[in-house]
Amino acid sequence: MDVDDRLTTALADDLDGAFEALVVGHEDRLYTIALRMLGDRGDAEEAAQDAFVRAYRALASYDGERIRELRLRGWLTTIVLNRCRSVAARKATRGPRPLPIDGDAARPIVEPEAPAASAPMEVAERHAERDRWAARLLALPVSYRTAVVLRHVDGLSYPEVAAALGRPEGTVKAQVHRGIALLRTMLEAERQHHFQEMTA
Amino acid sequence: MNRLPDITDLEATALAGLAVQAPATLRPSVLVDIGLADHYARIDSPLGPLVISWNGRGVSSVDQVRDDAEFEVRHLASTGRRAMPGTLPPRLATAITRRLDGDRRVRIALDLRGHSPFEQDVWRKALDIPRGEVRPYGWVAAEIGRPRAVRAVGTALGHNPVPLIVPCHRVIRTDGSIGQYSLGGPSNKRTILAAEGLDPDRMEDAGRRGERLVGCASTKIVCWPTCRTGRHMLERNRRPFRSLAEAGAAGYRPCKICRPVAAAVAA
């Protein structure tokens, strides 16, 4: 029985008593997905908060058996992606958004293997590198971005990604691979550009 | 699929490194939004600063405490929910200010989970009493269809978790004395009633003289002493009565606005 199975059992028995554990277990994931889909911290927090509130209301309307059968990771992922779509749509109707800013306050869960006392320059460079990857993700078409974020940022398995998106596994795999290929093309183009600037 | 490139370790590490921690504000916001925890903040009132708590379902308590820690402990004990410092949403702040100023039309959602339907009936009825007026416990009991439950009405008002917003201070004893008050005792009740334009001492004097109702000699209508319809009555038309029966015998009919009928029967 994994963590989520225990959680669904607890939620089925006592929704109000167990819901905080669901938030604790999934807040970093949902916020990360929202941030990497939307690129803006305020929007991401709004989407993640909305997703949890909707999840709670849905659970309150389900009977115990339905809650026990839920695959929480995928189910919550579907909800947060829906909220991301609404936040993005609402923003789109209000005209262009300010450029996405990411970095500083968004600390990584897994710091890359860092020496005990890493120099400030290295830390800054690592953050800058992360920002560049975040920006490349945001430049991907939404369907590729979604697939790459779920598979490689959130770490869902292909069957889980397929279930969360309601698409065939083969389609999802192709979208992840095409997304990666595009990221690689961008990286290559950036290097070319950098090289040209150096030699100009 | 062979045509498609596989992800390299470098790319996989870079993408996995994009995972971040949720901001510290996310979890409290979620829990408060769905009503599993509350926010609280201080507000000003005729009684000085008070603490008000709320969540996504509505306002859950109004309390007078020395410090935040005391409030958090009390709130947890009475509701089973954590209370965390927060900023009152502007719309709620405006609504509360207007309600405290006597505007009964402004709607304030209340979170009264865990309280009995009887208590909620009593509190809803107290909301019908306008600023600057009072009614006896027996009137509330009669109005909610429980004319014999006068004492239970008093108890329910004493348990009102949202004093001032639900104006339980506008309910007094049948004999005209001010009675108990949950938010810091009877002297606070006098302060609020005075702030709402009433004279608690005069009300109690009239009660001691046995004046329960006041009739108007020109209209032949009998009211509760603070009913707004009697506000412009000329002093020479003012007729105090000990009971509705006495007023009826003198040819007076009960006011349709303050409805002294049923309560007088109960009292």
Kindly report the CATH number assigned to the domain that includes residue A24.
Answer: 1.10.1740.10
Residue B194 contacts A where some CB pair is shorter than 8 Å: no
B22–chain A nearest CA distance, Å: 5
| pLDDT tens-place string over residues A111-162 | 444 555 567 888 888 888 899 999 999 999 999 999 999 999 999 999 999 9
Angle CA(A98)–CA(A101)–CA(A107) in degrees, nearest 5? 155
A187–chain B nearest CA distance, Å: 10
Could you give the residue range(s) of every CATH 3.40.10.10 domain in chain B?
Answer: 209-266
Domain-located, residue A112: no
Could you give the residue range(s) of every CATH 1.10.10.10 domain in chain B?
Answer: 117-206
Q: Hey, are the CB atoms on A174 and B18 less than 8 Å from each other? A: no
Is residue B129 a contact partner of residue B171, using CB atoms and an 8 Å limit? Answer: yes
**What is the pLDDT of chain B when averaged over all its residues?**
90
| Six-digit token string for A179 | 């997304």
Is residue B239 a contact partner of residue B214, using CB atoms and an 8 Å limit? Answer: yes
**What is the pLDDT of chain A when averaged over all its residues?**
88
DSSP element (H, E) containing A115? none
Our count of domains for chain A comes to 2
Is residue A123 a contact partner of residue A113, using CB atoms and an 8 Å limit? Answer: no
Q: Domain B27-100 sits in which CATH superfamily?
A: Methylated DNA-protein cysteine methyltransferase domain (3.30.160.70)
Q: How many CB pairs under 8 A join A and B?
A: 111
Three-state SS annotation for chain B: CCCCCCCCHHHHHHHHCCCECCCCCHHHHHHHHHCCCEEEEEECCCCCCEEEEEECCEEEEEECCCCHHHHHHHHHHHHCCCEEECCCCHHHHHHHHHHHCCCCCCCCCECCCCCCHHHHHHHHHHCCCCCCCCEEHHHHHHHCCCCCCHHHHHHHHHCCCCECCECHHHEECCCCCCCCCCCCCHHHHHHHHHHCCCCHHHHHHHHHCCCCEEEECCCCEEECCCCHHHCCCCHHHEEEECCHHHHHHCCCEECCCCCHHHHHHHC
A4 and A79 assigned to the same domain: yes
Range of the domain at A132: 121-200
A4 and A74 assigned to the same domain: yes
Q: How far apart are CA A56 and CA B147, in angstroms?
A: 41
Domain boundary among A40, A64, A97: A97
- Going by pLDDT thresholds of 50, 70 and 90, the confidence category of residue B4 is low
Q: Hey, are the CB atoms on A31 and B1 less than 8 Å from each other? A: no
Q: How far apart are CA A148 and CA A140, in angstroms?
A: 9
A139 and A92 assigned to the same domain: no
Domain-located, residue A188: yes
| pLDDT tens-place string over residues B59-116 | 999 999 888 999 999 999 999 999 999 999 999 999 998 888 888 789 999 999 999 9
Q: Hey, are the CB atoms on A109 and B19 less than 8 Å from each other? A: yes
**Which of A27, A137, A153 comes nearest B19 by C-beta?**
A153
What pLDDT is stored for residue B232 in this prediction? 81
Q: Which of A146, A148, A150, A39 is nearest to A103 (CA)?
A: A39
A93 and A125 assigned to the same domain: no
A11 and A91 assigned to the same domain: yes
Q: How far apart are CA B55 and CA B35, in angstroms?
A: 5
DSSP state letters, A136-156: HHHHS-HHHHHHHIIIIIS--
| Six-digit token string for B115 | 């309280």
| Six-digit token string for B41 | 């903040």
Q: How far apart are CA A121 and CA A188, in angstroms?
A: 24
Domain-located, residue A108: no
Mean pLDDT of B115-123: 96
In DSSP terms, B172 is beta-bridged to B136
A87 and A3 assigned to the same domain: yes
Phi, psi of B231 (to 5 degrees): -65, -35
Residues in chain A within 8 Å Cβ distance of B10: none
Domain-located, residue A110: no
Residue of B nearest to A110 (CA): B17
Give the number of other CB atoms < 10 A from CB of residue B242. 12
What pLDDT is stored for residue A200 in this prediction? 64
Domain-located, residue A74: yes
A126 and A175 assigned to the same domain: yes
| Six-digit token string for B25 | 């504000």
Mean pLDDT of B181-190: 89
Q: Hey, are the CB atoms on A148 and B15 less than 8 Å from each other? A: yes
In DSSP terms, B222 is beta-bridged to B215, B254
Q: Hey, are the CB atoms on B20 and A49 less than 8 Å from each other? A: no
| Six-digit token string for A145 | 């971005």
| pLDDT tens-place string over residues A73-113 | 999 999 999 999 999 998 888 765 554 444 444 444 444 44
Q: How far apart are CA A42 and CA A37, in angstroms?
A: 13
| Six-digit token string for B227 | 């009913």
- pTM of the full predicted structure? 0.83
| pLDDT tens-place string over residues A161-171 | 999 999 999 99
| pLDDT tens-place string over residues B225-245 | 999 987 788 889 999 999 999
**Domain at B209-266: CATH code:** 3.40.10.10
A29 and A76 assigned to the same domain: yes
Q: Which of B160, B79, B176 is nearest to B124 (CA)?
A: B160
Domain-located, residue A114: no
A7 and A77 assigned to the same domain: yes
In the three-class reduction of DSSP (H, G, I as helix; E, B as strand; rest coil), residue A108 is classed as strand
Domain-located, residue A145: yes
A143 and A93 assigned to the same domain: no
Strand B50-55 vs strand B58-63: parallel, antiparallel, or unpaired?
antiparallel
A41 and A89 assigned to the same domain: yes
Mean pLDDT of B180-201: 91
User: Lowest-confidence range among A26-30, A100-104, B198-202?
Assistant: A100-104
CA dihedral A164, A168, A169, A170 (to 10 degrees): -150
A199–chain B nearest CA distance, Å: 27
Q: Hey, are the CB atoms on A52 and B30 less than 8 Å from each other? A: yes
Domain boundary among A97, A112, A142: A97
Q: How far apart are CA B174 and CA A30, in angstroms?
A: 58
Q: How far apart are CA A180 and CA A191, in angstroms?
A: 16
What pLDDT is stored for residue A42 in this prediction? 95
Domain boundary among A46, A65, A97: A97
What pLDDT is stored for residue B169 in this prediction? 95
Residue B29 has pLDDT above 50, yes or no: yes
Residues in chain A within 8 Å Cβ distance of B11: 152, 180, 183-184
Q: How far apart are CA B128 and CA B107, in angstroms?
A: 13
What ipTM goes with this model? 0.83
A152 and A77 assigned to the same domain: no
- Entry field: residues in chain A: 200
Pick among 3.40.50.1370, 1.10.10.10, 3.40.50.1100, 1.10.10.60: CATH of B117-206: 1.10.10.10
Q: How far apart are CA B109 and CA B54, in angstroms?
A: 9
- Residue where the block lists tokens 């560049």: A132
Kindly report the CATH number assigned to the domain that includes residue A132.
Answer: 1.10.10.10
